[in-house]
Structure 1
Amino acid sequence: MENFVTDRKEFENYKSKIKKLFPDYISFEKNSFNNNFKYFIAFDFDYIFEEIFFEGTISFLNKIKNGKLFFYTIDPSPEDYFFIHFNKYSVFELETNKNYNDFNSIVYKDPGVNTADAIGINSNEISCFSHSDDWAIIGSREWEISIVGFISLEMKEKFLNSFGDNSDIFTSIEQQVNILDDMLNFDNELKADYNELTENYQDRE
Structure 2
Amino acid sequence: MSKLDFIRDEVQFRTYFDRAKAEIRLLAGKPRDELLYFDPIDIATQKFYDLLQALLAFQSNTEFVTLILNPDPFDYFHHHFGKYPGFIHRGENSDDEFFHFMMEDPGGSPADALGVNHQHYAIMPVDGDWIAFGDQSWDVGVFYGPANIMECAKNFYPFFLQPPERFRIDL
Q: Give TM class, smaller chain.
A: 0.7 to 0.9
1:126 is paired with a residue of what secondary structure? strand
Which sections of structure 1, spanning at least 5 residues, go unmatched?
25-30, 178-194
* Moved segments of 4+, more than 3 Å: none
Question: Matched residues in 2 for 1:17 and 1:158: separation?
Answer: 23
The TM-score with structure 1 as length reference comes to 0.73
What is aligned with 2:150?
A: 156
Amino acid at match of 2:128: S
1:148 is paired with a residue of what secondary structure? strand
On the 8 A contact 2:77/2:83 being kept in 1, the answer is yes
1:98-124: per-residue Cα shift (whole Å, max 9, x none)?
221110121101001021110111111
What is aligned with 1:119?
A: 114
Alignment of 1:134-173 (within 5 A): 135-152=130-147, 154-161=148-155, 163=156, 167-173=157-163
Q: Which has the larger radius of gyration?
A: 1
What is aligned with 1:32?
A: 28
- Decide which of 11, 17, 20 is 1:18's aligned counterpart: 20
On the 8 A contact 2:132/2:144 being kept in 1, the answer is yes
What is aligned with 1:88?
A: 83
- Decide which of 99, 102, 110 is 2:105's aligned counterpart: 110
Between the two proteins, the alignment pairs up a number of residues equal to 166
RMSD over aligned Cα, in angstroms? 2.2
Question: Matched residues in 2 for 1:41 and 1:76: separation?
Answer: 24
Q: Percent identity?
A: 23
The TM-score with structure 2 as length reference comes to 0.87
